[in-house]
Structure 1
Amino acid sequence: MSSTTWPSQGLGKSGYSDPDSFGISAEVLGNATNSNPWVRLAPQQSTGRNFLSDFTRWVEIPESADEIASPLPQMIREVRSWTGWSQRYLGEVLGTSHTTVRKLETDGTVSPKSRPAATRVPALHNLMRRLYQAAGANPNRLSVALEIRGNDGQTAIALLISENFPRAYSRALEALHGPREDMLTSGRNTPLPDATVEMI
């Protein structure tokens, strides 16, 4: 992350610089309050002091959070690309509305209302990336595998909605490749059909 560094000597109790203390001016960005203590420092005319040698302690000011691009839009686009899901269907998986998904996918802005869904996106993205690779990068095959019921009658989708990601992952892998040899199962697994699932 890039940042701007400013000398910390000469800062008063409020966090703002005293121009007379080291010969530079201070322009407060926004309201000069304790909640917004951002200061931009600019050199004035030379005062005879060596700026770099006199001020060796530096304060690192990070970029504003608004300037840092959110990874959510890219993650959501990739999940929908890998699965063929609509925003409405993804909203059902995340336990939110399609309008919230659209907002997150458009600009990544997280509100108090969308925060629960937004916090689930990274884990879902990671799981779907693995399953997409396991499905041979075939969205149709993956989407069908997610809808196959296991011996307990649950689908990977139902397990995702209940936030049981480990079981959802195992269930989808079983649908894609059959049960692993080290897994104890009863009955026969439903084979993966060569068909597509239309997502609402």
Structure 2
Amino acid sequence: MRERNTSARRSMMPPVTLYDSLALGEPLLRPVPHPAVDTRGSIWLVGDWAVDVPPSPPRPIPEAARLIALVRDRTGWSARRLAELLGVSHSTVRRIAGGQQPKAAHSGNLPLRLRGVYDVVDRIYLLQHRDPSATAHILDEVIPGRRSAVSELRDGNPAAAYLAAIDALRPPRSPGLLTGDRPKSAGATAPLHE
């Protein structure tokens, strides 16, 4: 009965072709060791073969991620503080800093706002002799009768933010004619309006 069962199974199996025996091969009597792979140099060694692997060029950092990194580096701001200026959540800033592209549906014109913030921060950073804490201080400083640069950036006015930061760096002079602090010498002539 057992013999009849195995012959029935053999008749149901497709016949072994030349392709099957070539593709599957004969069973091996001993295990085949895997070739040693040495990847320490520019030329990899795989068993006895030398494989020259060309160096892969580094992938470029997305523009938005690069700008976020530069702004944070030049001001010392946290992701939450930068997100407050850009009008997005801090998780959005962190995702973009990680390399994700900003989505227009979620963030509107975020790349344009980010470019404006970077332009102002970069210029003030250079004027402050590349000092991040001094840059952040100038951007936060409020001059009487004027808003701070951070407030202007929050409202999306990079040009007004730059002017506010410049005024914080070099306060405007008092209105009126320029007058000297030294008395007029004896032989000096006076202007006609005096």
Normalised TM-score (structure 2): 0.55
- For the residues of structure 1 that align with 2:175 and 2:125, how far apart are their CA atoms? 25
- Aligned partner of 1:126 among 119, 123, 128: 119
Write the letter of the residue equivalent to 2:163.
S
Equivalent position of 1:32 in the other structure: none
Equivalent position of 1:157 in the other structure: 150
- Aligned partner of 1:141 among 112, 122, 134: 134
RMSD: 2.2
Identity %: 27
Please identify which structure carries the higher strand content: 1
Secondary structure of 1:107's counterpart equals coil
**1:105 lines up with 2:97 in the alignment:** yes
- For the residues of structure 1 that align with 2:96 and 2:107, how far apart are their CA atoms? 8
Q: Structure 1: any 5+ residue segments left out of the alignment?
A: 1-66, 186-200
Write the letter of the residue equivalent to 1:171.
A
How many residues are treated as equivalent by the alignment? 117
Equivalent position of 1:14 in the other structure: none
Instruction: Please report how far the alpha carbon of residue 163 of structure 1 lies from its aligned counterpart in structure 2 after TM superposition.
Output: 1.2
Instruction: Please report how far the alpha carbon of residue 71 of structure 1 lies from its aligned counterpart in structure 2 after TM superposition.
Output: 1.0
Tell whether the 8 Å contact from 1:71 to 1:108 is kept in structure 2 after alignment. no
Instruction: Please report how far the alpha carbon of residue 79 of structure 1 lies from its aligned counterpart in structure 2 after TM superposition.
Output: 0.3
From the superposition, tell whether residues 141 and 108 of structure 1 become closer, same or farther in structure 2 (CA, over 3 Å): same
| Alignment map for 1:45-194 (pairs within 5 Å) | 69-111=61-103, 112-179=105-172
Normalised TM-score (structure 1): 0.53
Q: Which has the higher contact order (CA 8 A, sep 6+)?
A: 1
Please identify which structure carries the higher helix content: 2
Write the letter of the residue equivalent to 1:86.
S
Tell whether the 8 Å contact from 2:146 to 2:164 is kept in structure 1 after alignment. no
Instruction: Please report how far the alpha carbon of residue 152 of structure 1 lies from its aligned counterpart in structure 2 after TM superposition.
Output: 2.0
Instruction: Please report how far the alpha carbon of residue 155 of structure 1 lies from its aligned counterpart in structure 2 after TM superposition.
Output: 1.1
Q: Which runs of 4+ in 1 moved over 3 A?
A: none
- For the residues of structure 1 that align with 2:162 and 2:142, how far apart are their CA atoms? 13
Equivalent position of 2:55 in the other structure: none
Instruction: Please report how far the alpha carbon of residue 135 of structure 1 lies from its aligned counterpart in structure 2 after TM superposition.
Output: 1.0
Secondary structure of 1:140's counterpart equals helix
Write the letter of the residue equivalent to 1:104.
I
Deviations 1:42-89 (A, max 9, x none): xxxxxxxxxxxxxxxxxxxxxxxxx87521111110000111100000
Instruction: Please report how far the alpha carbon of residue 105 of structure 1 lies from its aligned counterpart in structure 2 after TM superposition.
Output: 0.8
Equivalent position of 2:21 in the other structure: none
Larger Rg: 2
Deviations 1:93-144 (A, max 9, x none): 0011100101111114121203432331112112211110011111111111
